[in-house]
Amino acid sequence: MTREPDQGIDALPDPVPITAVSGFDACLEAPGSKSITNRALVLAALAEGTSTLEYPLVSTDTVRMAIAMERVGANIDREAGSWIVNGLGSNGPTAASLDLGDGGTPARFCAALALLGHEPITVDGSSRLRQRPMEQGLRMLQELGASIECLQEEGHLPVRICGPSGSGSTLSIGRTASSQFISAILLVAPRLPGGIRIEFTEEPTSSSYIRLTIDLLRQWGITVEHDDAFSRVQVHPGPITPRHCFIEPDASTAIYGLAAAAISLDSTVTVPGIGKDSLQPDIEVIRCLQRMGADVHWQDDAVSVTGSSRLHPIQVDASLFPDGAVLLAACCALADGASEITGLHTLRVKESDRITALHTELEKVGCSVQSTDDSIRIEPGDRTDADVMIRTYDDHRIAMSMAVLGTRLGGLSIEDPACVIKSHPGFWHDMATLGAIDGGWLYEAGSNGDT
């Protein structure tokens, strides 16, 4: 059964108290990948025919993205377990006003869609999304011929965009605050008459997500070329072939249950559907947990993590998996020495200022924390308060990461637990399965925990 994003959430106590647990052995099924679901929605919406997305993630981000695709002209039948998408084909997107909530990726993907038509698309979102940087990406769209009108503050949402259905072009791109606009342009490039060629003058931010985009383009029948150094990417024009797309389970949500096992003695979590060859960037978090001392067992289509008696500190550049680094930082609070995570400059402009949020909340549990615009250093210590209230900043990854830490420490209470519906509506069901929270309210609300 595919659960709607908010089913059962109203029954959550706020804050949610987390109980320390150990000795569990659980199989947790991750929902479909958010990154893949959003990219597949764009490709299916632009395809010439009917595509089926099997096991898409049902969350606030992806549902808003699907509604946006409908408003620009695609037809989507969101059935339980699969979404059937009738694409636009040779038609351009229609005029629409789109509210993407907190979704930075959906907002940037929808902005690029305007390159394919002559009718204006207005993109807006929450107050936090309006604060997030858009100027670099909007400038890219202007270089490709789009007309841009920022309706309030320059370089920020809301923005009205009208594209020329242009001839394609070459973009020269240096260091950017986010890779999402680059992926957005790559996704619509096959529908530009000349395709697109992108030349990178510096290593692109979060290039792992660009590689994921390229892999999906190829799966949908698009010719993409790049050099070995990844300094040049060319997407050739051509029809987007409709397909039956299986959405791989989400590494970005699987890592929370796996980390709970890694920090707990004699505990094991297995997640089916994710193998060692996955291209999802957050798979690197699992490898980092292994470096820290967890026992990781990879199979072709599953991964298991078992905790050890001690966690080693880690020094790691997380520039290829910055979102997953939030969870890794929480785990470092339990290491037997100081850890340092670098490559985090994008975290300042996510759903919250995640570096500041981590700094503040990890100090509450006794850690000595030092942070810069690009890094965080965490030295574990003893907390002075038995019970700690964790602020989540309306940020799903802060909520989930600190809840995982609570499964070892106990005594943590997570404010605004409903914020997890942005990416992982089943998170609290997983915590109940491990015994870290009282799951009675979830099942009384009529949800079976499947996503």
160-197 pLDDT per residue, tens? 999 875 555 899 998 876 789 999 999 999 999 899 99
What's the rounded Cα separation, in Å, for the pair 180 and 322?
A: 13
Query: For the range 377-385, what are the long-range contacts, defined as Cβ-Cβ under 8 Å and sequence gap of 24 or more?
Result: 377/338, 377/339, 377/340, 378/329, 378/332, 378/333, 378/335, 378/338, 378/339, 378/340, 378/341, 379/337, 379/338, 379/339, 380/332, 380/333, 380/334, 380/335, 380/336, 380/337, 380/338, 383/409, 385/411
Spatial separation of the C-alpha atoms in residues 85 and 74, rounded to whole Å: 7
pLDDT surpasses 60 at 7: no
User: Regarding beta strands 224-226 and 232-235, do their DSSP bridges make them parallel or antiparallel, or are they unpaired?
Assistant: antiparallel
Q: In sequence order, what are the residues at sequence separation of 6 or more whose Cβ sits closer than 8 angstroms to the Cβ of residue 339?
A: 313, 314, 315, 329, 332, 377, 378, 379
Q: Is 387 a catalytic residue?
A: no
pLDDT attached to residue 161: 97
10-41 pLDDT tens trace? 788 999 999 999 999 999 999 999 999 999 99
pLDDT digits (tens, 9 = 90+) for 56-66: 999 999 999 99
* 55 pLDDT more than 50: yes
Beta strands in 166-289 (DSSP E): 169-173, 196-200, 224-226, 232-235, 244-246, 268-272
> In this structure, how many other beta carbons lie within 10 angstroms of the beta carbon of residue 105?
22
Delineate the domains of the chain, giving CATH numbers in brackets: 9-32+248-444 (3.65.10.10), 34-246 (3.65.10.10)
- Among candidate residues 323, 395, 416, 430, the one labeled active-site is 323
Nearest to 283 by CA among 315, 334, 313, 248: 248
**Tell me, what's the pLDDT at 451?**
29
Q: Please name the residue that has the structure tokens 């389970």.
A: 249
DSSP for 394-428?
A: T-HHHHHHHHHHHHHH--EEES-GGGGGGT-TTHH
Write out pLDDT tens, residues 40-49: 999 999 999 9
Classify residue 221 by burial, with Cβ atoms within 10 Å: 0-12, 13-18, 19+. Answer: middle
Q: Which helix (H) or strand (E) holds 34?
A: helix 34-46
- Give which of 136, 141, 197 is closest to 172, Cα–Cα: 197
